[in-house]
Amino acid sequence: AIHALYLIIDSGGPMFRNYVEPCFEFIVQSILSIPYTNRDVYVSLGKLLSSLITFIGPELQLNTQVMNDIRLGCLTSCIVMQKHNDSMIRAVAIQCMQEMHLFAPKYINMNELVPYLLQSL
């Protein structure tokens, strides 16, 4: 179901605009509540998060309450996935952080991200 939602976001275009916030809430709640053993769910949630970041794009730079909440949810989800012991989940987290850096660079702490990338290599 998560993979299907990911595909809908990638192909849905502007029709998905009304569902962005609930989808982010779903991702954050799921990442914070599912057991670490559900590798496939984490990977799917990471891909879903990545597609939402791409969908929102430059709007992530806006300084509104909604965008602040979305950015916080993205960063929280990425940090949780970075701490996981599975390399595929960490790779998805890195992909999300790279997209966040692309669209909202001032909200990404490169002093923490670059050493993490080097360690991951």
Spatial separation of the C-alpha atoms in residues 69 and 83, rounded to whole Å: 21
Residue with tokens 């990977």: 43
pLDDT of residue 6: 83
Give the tens place of pLDDT for each residue, 1-42.
888 888 888 787 677 788 889 999 999 999 999 998 899 999
Percentage of the chain exceeding pLDDT 90? 59
Residue with tokens 């599912």: 34
Neighbouring CB atoms inside 10 A of 56's CB total: 21
**Residue 74 pLDDT more than 90?**
yes
pLDDT of residue 113: 78
Helix (H) or strand (E) holding 42: helix 39-56
Q: 1-5, 38-42, 61-65, 77-81 — which is least confidently predicted?
A: 1-5
The structure tokens listed for 43 are 């990977």
pLDDT of residue 11: 80
Q: What is the pTM of this model?
A: 0.88
Query: Distance between alpha carbon 45 and the CA centroid of its chain, in Å?
Result: 8
pLDDT of residue 121: 75
Q: Are 86 and 39 in contact (CB under 8 A)?
A: yes
